[in-house]
Amino acid sequence: MKTSSDICVIGNGAIGKASALALAQLGLEVVLVAPSSPPASAQSAKPLSNTDHWDHRVYALNHVARSLLASLKVWDAMAAERIAPVDAMAVQGDAPDQSGLLSFDAYGARVGALAWIVEDSNLNQALDAALRFASGLKIVHGAATTLERTADAAQITLDNGDHISSKLVLGADGAHSWVRTQADIGMDYRSYYQQAVVANFESENAHHGVASQWFLGADGIVALLPLPGNRVSLVWSAPDALANILLGESAEQLAQRLMSLPGQTLGHLHMLPPDSPKSFPLRLIRSHSMIAGRVALVGDAAHVVHPLAGQGMNLGFADIQSLLDAIAKRDQPSDCGDARTLGRYARARKEEVLLMQFATDGLQRLFASELPPVKLLRNAGMGLVNKLPFLKRRLMTHALGPSLSIHTDS
């Protein structure tokens, strides 16, 4: 069987689904290639009505991501009672006197919230529902095996022998992107030799919408993100050796570690079901290009950054928005994958992606150092930034999304 479309999207995660939905709503004929069977994470997902169970994987979505999802009629389709706004952020360095403190708040930024904490299953279930009713969108189940490109089109062959011919192939297939490899797009890879240890806890005291983060030097970076009610989501970017220890500890032992963090005000912590943390490896991936002939990359297929700023998913949604803008301005209405359109997309994303890669990688290196002069300077720097409104506004602008203006009286 042979299928023709304007765009073929490879990748069945949130970025792939949102890409397919957005492009279809732009009036294009879209084919989304999805696995024949859902991933194990989807098969084991608990119903959203189960308030005792919260996803290990959560995202801190910024204003750009929310705006895109709202335009796709996805944001309001999510379970609102399982979304927590981030009203403030408190970042603590590793100075013994706790002098290295940096704080942000929504009031100072003149916005309703700095971000929103959303579970992976909440987002994906809303996207799945929207995909079922999208016109111009066809979901094909199978695995892509070959990609052939000419000057005018690209053809995907599936493992069942079916063919999909498109003007553009969109790689939204994650850090180990098959599309990136098939398009001969090189990449730079570096492991941080860290794992993100994730779990959820119920707290004795209210978090008041504050996302808290601790830079612990050799012990990595701990973040406690607000969930609805007195609940928080842990993301501990820990060196491999420490991560393995954390994964082997009891729920009570891990909770005790968190309760002993300096300045922690949540009181007693109790791990929520399934009562065991999970982990995933941390690495830096820089694709040499986000485009090739008849190919574009979005999300982790194009870039993977350290999660210390919580911006990985937001970069992916910003990719989608930039691609939509580039395609909407294309010179030839019948060709959404011509070189000029793809070049416009790549140029639009270059600065923001490079800046985020530089910032997250630089901060990880800076706070991993145990040299006393470096520790002194980094904590002093955090305290200084906290006193400089201009720098804080610039940092908030990048966290909220580059398209959102920040207004303060300072």
% of the chain exceeding 90 in pLDDT: 73
Query: What sign does the dihedral 123-125-129-135 (CA atoms) show?
Result: positive
373 inside domain: no
Window from 143-152, 188-197, 252-261, 391-400 with minimum mean pLDDT: 391-400
* Beta bridge mates, 148: 155
167-214 pLDDT tens trace: 999 999 999 999 999 999 999 999 999 999 999 999 999 999 999 999
Q: What is the pLDDT of residue 101?
A: 77
pLDDT band for 407, please (50, 70, 90 cuts). Answer: very low
368 inside domain: no
11-67 pLDDT tens trace: 999 999 999 999 999 999 999 999 876 655 554 556 677 777 899 999 999 999 999
Window from 60-69, 176-185, 313-322, 375-384 with minimum mean pLDDT: 375-384
150 inside domain: yes
Segments forming the whole domain that contains residue 221: 2-363
The CATH number of the domain where 329 resides is what? 3.50.50.60
Unique residue bearing structure tokens 């910003």: 318
256 inside domain: yes
Quote the CA–CA distance of 228 and 177 in Å, as a whole number: 34
390 inside domain: no
Quote the CA–CA distance of 156 and 10 in Å, as a whole number: 10
Quote the CA–CA distance of 107 and 99 in Å, as a whole number: 23
406 inside domain: no
Q: What is the pLDDT of residue 38?
A: 63
387 inside domain: no
**392 pLDDT exceeds 80?**
no
94-127 pLDDT tens trace: 777 666 678 888 887 778 999 999 999 999 999 9
> What beta strand segments (E) does 150-273 contain?
154-158, 163-171, 187-203, 210-215, 221-227, 231-239, 269-271
Quote the CA–CA distance of 276 and 44 in Å, as a whole number: 15
Going by their DSSP bridges, the two strands 269-271 and 84-86 should be labelled as unpaired
71-99 pLDDT tens trace: 999 999 999 999 999 999 998 887 776 66
- How many domains does one find in the chain? 1
Q: What is the pLDDT of residue 35?
A: 84
Q: What is the pLDDT of residue 406?
A: 40
Quote the CA–CA distance of 386 and 286 in Å, as a whole number: 31
* Beta bridge mates, 2: 163
Which residues are CB-neighbours of 287 under 8 A, at least 6 positions away?
180, 185, 186, 187, 297, 301, 302, 303
209 inside domain: yes
Q: What is the pLDDT of residue 135?
A: 95
Reduced to 3 DSSP states, what percent helix, strand and coil does the chain have, rounded to the nearest 5?
Answer: 40, 30, 35
Do residues 339 and 289 lie in contact, with contact meaning Cβ atoms separated by under 8 Å? no
